Amino acid sequence: MNEGLLFSDPPQSEADESWDGIASPTPASGKALYLELDGWEGPLDLLLDLARRQKVDLRSISILALVDQYLDYIEQAGALKLELAADYLVMAAWLAYLKSAMLLPKDEQEDPSPEELALKLQLRLQRLGAMRDAAARLMGGDRIGRDVFLRAAPEGLEIARKTLWQCDQYALIEAYGRVKARTAPAIHMVRERPVMTLESALDRVSHMLGVTLDWMELQDFLPPHAEPRLRKSALASSFVAALELARLGKAELQQDETFGPLHLRRASTNG
């Protein structure tokens, strides 16, 4: 259907497809109109059009006649090798079923009865017809830009906003304090810290390795009563010293597991 083609010219030249036109097609006679299913917004639209052609009140429309017209139309369209949209065929099938049910004796009816189905179809057509008429009347109203016009160049109402700024003494002084505090030169002093240099760690570890042949834990090389910060520094330096001694072939290192204690002893070949 041409749902997607809003605001574009309708595919066919029917004047009533337009914005301002009357909504219900009152087509000229002849087959031309019947050749395009896209002229209808779906099967219900086509049915409504066919119903209106009976030129009777929708309330007294003959559903049976309408069904015949629809089926004829679909058949004709098919004969013309038009591609029939699925929903038209579904509707055709449903109407064919409805027609057969309406022709059958009453006592063989299922529920819902064909009368109910037919009546509901009629009610639907009435509603669609009513909305189509309403749309036409709506479009025919006094519309801005077509029937009535607004002032083209209004002066506009101006609301000049004047800002009253607010601030107080405390905020002012606090801001100055903030500026001064922020921009005051920051002076950093590094205090002397107890550290064990790599050199002294090398000396200490190699000296202690000379005393015994047994494995010793790295911890044992640290100064026994050092304050925590010195101890950390000593651990780092001693570890590097141990690596250095191992590299020089003066010590052997052993660690049984990841993060396990690191053991150290004098290299046997060097003994």
135 touches other proteins by CB under 8 A: yes
128 touches other proteins by CB under 8 A: yes
Q: Are 215 and 254 in contact (CB under 8 A)?
A: yes
56 touches other proteins by CB under 8 A: no
Q: How far is the CB of 197 from other proteins (least distance, A)?
A: 29
83 touches other proteins by CB under 8 A: no
Cβ-Cβ contacts under 8 Å for 19 (sequence gap 6 or more):
139
**And the tokens for 21?**
């036109």
Tell me the C-alpha distance between 60 and 103, whole Å: 19
Site for other proteins in 159-178 (CB under 8 A): 159-169, 171-178
Sheet holding 251-255, edge to edge: 216-217, 262-266, 251-255
Identified binder of other proteins from the candidate list 30, 55, 107, 154, rule CB under 8 A: 154
Site for other proteins in 87-106 (CB under 8 A): 87, 90-91, 94
Identified binder of other proteins from the candidate list 13, 29, 60, 183, rule CB under 8 A: 183
Q: Render 130-156 in DSSP notation, one character per residue.
A: HHHHHHHHHHTS--BTTTB---SS---
Kindly give the pairing relationship between strand 251-255 and strand 262-266. Answer: antiparallel
Give the per-residue contact string, 208-227, with other proteins (x = CB under 8 A; - = no). --------------------
Identified binder of other proteins from the candidate list 29, 55, 106, 156, rule CB under 8 A: 156
